[in-house]
Structure 1
């Protein structure tokens, strides 16, 4: 059975995450563009192992939403930090255990796969990932 995760990030990194997650065939991602869509989902179904969320969505901070999630469920949270997120805010989130893992932009596919595998509690494939192969010259 596939483990499901929620991905709510800015449009510019959605494809990067989608490509990186191809290395984890046991993970199924459900993508959202806005926080209110995720809020509606949490009102009903919560059968997810984790959520990957951007620190800023639609030019708004997602931090208040993370506090709401943490109060309602034990879902694991992977936060993608934008460059303009204040360092004090990041430190407070980590110290208060509001997030389970953090990735700072820019990130690579390897970092994303490691972080998602960690929040979903799965083993990362030991073979070389598909995105590490290069064209022969």
Structure 2
């Protein structure tokens, strides 16, 4: 049962990402581009290494994504005052509209995902996900210490 739950969790995550990628295409974005824009809004003023880690992609891949978004005028690189070699990423004024549209896509996607699940079940689900995140972070920290 536990292993089956893990498989279902991973499969649902994959399906959610695939559906997200399909839905953002209407905005002329790839899934990774859209995830980066949303991550920039949620976690502003970080360097490229931070965002590459958040998106689970190689830094060179993130650089290519940022190049395209910068060319489109949606992202701006600025020098990191704490590290001359690093660049801090910022959303531009032009990108605010696209980020608002992305949030709408995400909200609709989650409503579709949670259809038929009442408010109490949603709250319990959110609580369970928070607990899982805490447990995974603790396990990862243990691995780092023991690793």
TM-score, structure 1 as length reference: 0.28
**Larger relative helix fraction:** 2
Q: Which has the higher contact order (CA 8 A, sep 6+)?
A: 1
**Larger relative strand fraction:** 1
Structure whose alpha-carbon radius of gyration is higher: 2
TM-score, structure 2 as length reference: 0.27
